[in-house]
């Protein structure tokens, strides 16, 4: 059998590196696969691994320039850089700040944040690609001198055929900031005016574009509402995805996208939540979300629909997850925090099938989970041959009891879905709980 060729997408993250952020003091790297699973004990650093990416996302999403980072936003909410700098590091190392780097199919882009002399957040260094044809990332630091920039950038300008920019009268180089990116710029005289031309980004490995495409659903997805805002389907969904759910369903209906609607209804029925989802446009801005009152369809019940606020909490919490998996495009990253919340154990198992279908379409899915049932269901799909083992990465997070530093163990699945020992396994906890119950029941029976 010929080896399978995995589809590669230019803007899909293949590795994520974090250093100096919360419990991730020393450099931590995790691989991203089509399906990336993140598990571990509470407060072990699972969310901290993804939060720097989400900080970048909400900074790009902002309608104004919030500075180097928008700290307090819909995806991550902090009020000071001190709250995110790793306390697992000594003060001397902590002063370097924190960094985030992403590796894609053909690029590595990195940004490091620190404090300035006044204790304010700044972009300390940005390593990226600025000109077409650039083969290696170039690191640009805040305050670089003209002479140092000349050493770094002039060869790139020549390779790109743009050396005439540098030869303009009085041309000088400087560094300009755009949110969390730094870029070299050429200043030159054009008559009486001074023109500043930022070299910008080549688009290769553009971390801003990567961050803006992330679909994020936090663990708590809000209380169900009577009405929701209208929304269009797009590659980018600023903020949290759950606010777009009703608008996307309405968009699918209005544009007669029957494939998405039919799959949505099949998916929610497979999970045992409801048999129908429908959006009712109330006006140009408001949408009402209706769902079937019963889990399965019945004769004569075609209009037996109720507002989503009038059914179980599980429907409103899970529907955004299902819609996100269907709305995502090939290569797009969907980050789901604890999608199993409010799901019956049977639904947690079946949810693995929905994820597999998204992965088969090319969607990149990252799931932070506490569900042993969901993980076992993923293993079962691998063992059945409907999910390739090398399409799955499983990362287990623990924390050093003395320093608070996060430790990450990675398990590679075998063709039968099995994996090696993790520092602490869900199955051990389950078996210990079962054993404790049986021992207690037997002792009680003997006493009576």
Per the structure, the complete domain to which residue 173 belongs is given by 143-200
User: Is residue 195, in this structure, part of any structural domain at all?
Assistant: yes
Query: pLDDT digits over 326-355, tens only?
Result: 999 999 999 999 999 989 999 999 999 999
Asked whether residue 191 falls in the same domain as residue 248, the answer is no
| In a shared domain, residues 284 and 192 | no
Please check whether residues 195 and 226 belong to one and the same domain: no
Residue 278 lies in a domain: yes
Q: Are residues 231 and 272 in the same domain?
A: yes
Query: What tens digit of pLDDT does each residue of 160-201 get?
Result: 777 776 666 677 888 989 999 998 888 877 777 877 777 766
Q: Sort 319 into a burial class: Cβ within 10 Å, 0-12 / 13-18 / 19+.
A: buried
In this structure, the answer to whether residues 247 and 315 fall within a common structural domain is yes
- pLDDT bracket for residue 401 (50, 70, 90): confident
Band the pLDDT of 215: cuts 50, 70, 90: very high
pLDDT at 1: 41
- Mean pLDDT lowest for which of 66-70, 198-202, 358-362, 407-411? 198-202
Number of domains in the chain: 2
238 and 302 in a single domain? The answer is yes
Last residue of one domain, picked from the residues 301, 329, 357: 329
pLDDT by residue (tens digit) across 292-320? 888 777 766 667 899 999 988 889 999 99
294, 329, 364: which is the final residue of a domain?
Answer: 329
Q: Does any domain span residue 231?
A: yes
Q: What is the pTM of this model?
A: 0.91
DSSP code of residue 273: S
**238, part of any domain:** yes
| Choice between 353 and 107, residue whose per-residue pLDDT is larger | 353
Residue 245 is assigned to a structural domain of this protein: yes
Q: Which of 262, 296, 329 is the last residue of a domain?
A: 329
Average pLDDT, the chain: 87
H or E element at residue 80: none
Q: Who contacts 200 (Cβ-Cβ below 8 Å, separation ≥6)?
A: 130, 183
Return the pLDDT at 328.
95
DSSP codes of every residue in 102-131:
EE-SS-EEEEEEEE-TTS-EEEEEEEE--S
Q: Whole-angstrom Cα distance, residue 435 to residue 417?
A: 25
Mean pLDDT of 90-105: 86
Query: Does the residue 340 lie in any domain?
Result: no
Contacts of 162-168 spanning 24+ positions with Cβ under 8 A: 162/131, 165/197
Whether 162 and 231 share a structural domain: no
Shared-domain flag, residues 255 and 162: no
Most confident of 81-85, 94-98, 172-176: 81-85
Cα–Cα distance measured from residue 107 to residue 136, given in angstroms and rounded to the nearest whole number: 8
Least confident of 102-106, 202-206, 376-380: 202-206
What is the per-residue pLDDT for 426? 62
């Amino acid at each position: 059998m010929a080896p399978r060729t995995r589809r590669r997408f230019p803007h899909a993250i293949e590795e994520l590196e974090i250093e100096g952020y919360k419990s991730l003091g020393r450099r931590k790297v995790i691989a991203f696969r089509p399906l990336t699973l993140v598990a571990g004990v509470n407060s072990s650093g699972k969310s901290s691994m993804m939060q720097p990416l989400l900080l970048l996302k909400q900074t790009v999403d902002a309608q104004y320039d919030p500075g180097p980072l928008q700290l307090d936003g819909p995806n991550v909410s902090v009020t000071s850089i001190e709250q995110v700098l790793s306390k697992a590091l000594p003060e001397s190392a902590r002063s370097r700040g924190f960094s985030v780097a992403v590796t894609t199919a053909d690029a590595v882009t990195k940004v490091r944040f620190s404090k300035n002399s006044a204790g304010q957040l700044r972009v300390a260094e940005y390593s990226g690609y600025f000109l077409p044809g650039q083969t290696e990332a170039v690191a640009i630091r805040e305050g670089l001198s003209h002479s140092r920039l000349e050493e770094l950038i002039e060869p790139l300008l020549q390779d790109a055929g743009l050396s005439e920019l540098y030869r303009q009268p009085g041309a000088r180089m400087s560094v300009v900031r755009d949110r969390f990116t730094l870029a070299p710029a050429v200043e030159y005289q054009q008559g009486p005016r001074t023109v500043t031309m930022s070299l910008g980004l080549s688009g290769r490995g553009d971390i801003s574009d990567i961050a803006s495409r992330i679909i994020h659903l936090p663990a708590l997805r809000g209380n169900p509402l009577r009405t929701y805002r209208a929304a269009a389907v797009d590659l980018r969904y600023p903020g949290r995805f759950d606010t777009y759910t009703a608008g996307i369903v309405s968009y699918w209906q209005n544009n007669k996208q029957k494939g998405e609607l039919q799959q949505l209804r099949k998916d929610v029925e497979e999970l045992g939540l409801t048999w129908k989802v429908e959006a009712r446009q109330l006006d140009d801005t408001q949408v009402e979300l209706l769902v079937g009152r019963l889990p399965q369809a019945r004769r004569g019940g075609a209009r037996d629909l109720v507002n989503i606020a009038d059914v179980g909490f599980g429907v409103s919490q899970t529907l955004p997850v299902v819609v996100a998996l269907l709305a995502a495009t090939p290569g797009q990253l969907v980050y789901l925090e604890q999608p199993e919340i409010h799901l019956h154990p049977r639904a947690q198992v079946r949810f693995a099938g929905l994820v597999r279908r998204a992965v088969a379409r090319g969607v990149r899915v990252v799931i932070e989970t506490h569900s042993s049932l969901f993980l076992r269901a993923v293993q079962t799909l691998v063992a059945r041959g409907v999910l390739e083992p090398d399409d799955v990465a499983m990362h287990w997070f623990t924390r050093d009891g003395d320093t608070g530093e996060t430790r990450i163990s990675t398990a590679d699945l075998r063709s039968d879905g099995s994996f090696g020992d993790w520092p602490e396994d869900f199955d051990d906890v389950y078996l210990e709980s079962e054993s404790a119950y049986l021992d207690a029941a037997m002792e009680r029976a003997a006493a009576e």
